[in-house]
Amino acid sequence: MTEKINDLLRRVEEFKPKAEAEIEEFRIRILGKKGELTALMEEFKTVSPELKRELGQKINKLKSRAMERVNELKASFKNTPASSSSIGDMTRPGTNDTIGSRHPIAVVKNEMLAIFERMGYTVADGPEVEDDWHVFSALNFPPEHPARDMQDTFFIQRSPDILLRTHTSSIQVRTMETHKPPIRVVCPGRVYRNESISYRSHCMFHQVEGLYIDENVSFADLKQSIEYFVKEFFGEDAVIRLRPSYFPFTEPSAEVDVSCVLCGGKGCQVCKHTGWLEIMGCGMVDPNVLESCGIDPKKYTGFAFGMGIERSAMLKYGVKDLRLFFENDVRFLNQFDSAL
């Protein structure tokens, strides 16, 4: 009889139903009125008195374990309603999965890079935590010169040599230091300036920098390249004008204006009734910069330019507040990704 009890206990433990209905069948087969356990109880009546105590305990244990096991198995099916035995309630309303979208800064950046890639530029990258050499000194910012005040810099832990880059022009330097001309790169990236946050400025924003160095590169090449970019980015009707300006790393330097994308140049609130919008800085790379980066200024010339991604996105899409790009409100963000 001990053997029969042990055998039944083993089968109780090993029972693995595939569907919930099998559990009830199992319960009836073991615990039901005509079940195996009932039969064992009948047999128990006939055992000799000296074995009764030991066998009685065993049968009781078997019975409670069998009941426990049935309950456990039933509960496990309740916890997995979508089991293969059930496809759930087909009349329930469906759920909507929200699909993400690319951030407008990424969308605009990719569009800018694609235009330059069509012109033969490759994309270069560099660190956001930089040293003074790559952000200022190699770019012809003399020490203690007021030019350094042009950009309010975040320095790292009282080390005046380590800082958050204030412009992507630092990637120009890194590229020139490691590559021989001809060089034709665009450098997108995040930059930091210690500025108060308002609808038109932020302590963090994005730029795209460009650099072209070869023999006989001229200012006419610079103007033509920028004109091509502007027409691709803002549309065929856009026209540009160059105004003389100053940057330590270019000579001559210029500021690029594009005809107002909203009024087409007639004058409106956005262009402050001038008909023009300022979009980038540019110029011929200063020979001092070429020399600092190990490129022979007698043999090579080049041009560079740099622009803000947020600013271009605001002009292109008529966004009036720069802070919207950093607030992560999906109602704003998902308006820009045409891939949706």
- Which chain residues interact with ligand DAH by CB under 6 A? 167, 169, 209, 247, 250, 281-283, 304-306
Neighbours of 211 (CB within 10 A): 24
In the complex, the smallest distance separating the C-beta of residue 281 from ligand DAH, rounded to whole angstroms, is: 3
Neighbours of 64 (CB within 10 A): 10
Residue nearer to ligand DAH on the CB measure, 100 or 127: 127
CA distance 248 to 232: 29
Residue nearer to ligand DAH on the CB measure, 250 or 292: 250
The torsion of the CA quartet 4, 10, 15, 16, rounded to 10 degrees, works out to: -160
CA distance 144 to 309: 30
Residue nearer to ligand DAH on the CB measure, 134 or 167: 167
Task: Give just the sign of the alpha carbon dihedral 142, 143, 148, 152.
Answer: positive
In the complex, the smallest distance separating the C-beta of residue 284 from ligand DAH, rounded to whole angstroms, is: 8
Cis peptide before 252 (omega within 30 of 0): yes
In the complex, the smallest distance separating the C-beta of residue 212 from ligand DAH, rounded to whole angstroms, is: 10
Terminal-to-terminal C-alpha distance of the chain: 72
Residue nearer to ligand DAH on the CB measure, 71 or 224: 224
Residue nearer to ligand DAH on the CB measure, 153 or 259: 153
Residues 6 or more apart in contact with residue 223 via CB below 8 angstroms? 240, 242
In the complex, the smallest distance separating the C-beta of residue 147 from ligand DAH, rounded to whole angstroms, is: 11
In the complex, the smallest distance separating the C-beta of residue 222 from ligand DAH, rounded to whole angstroms, is: 9
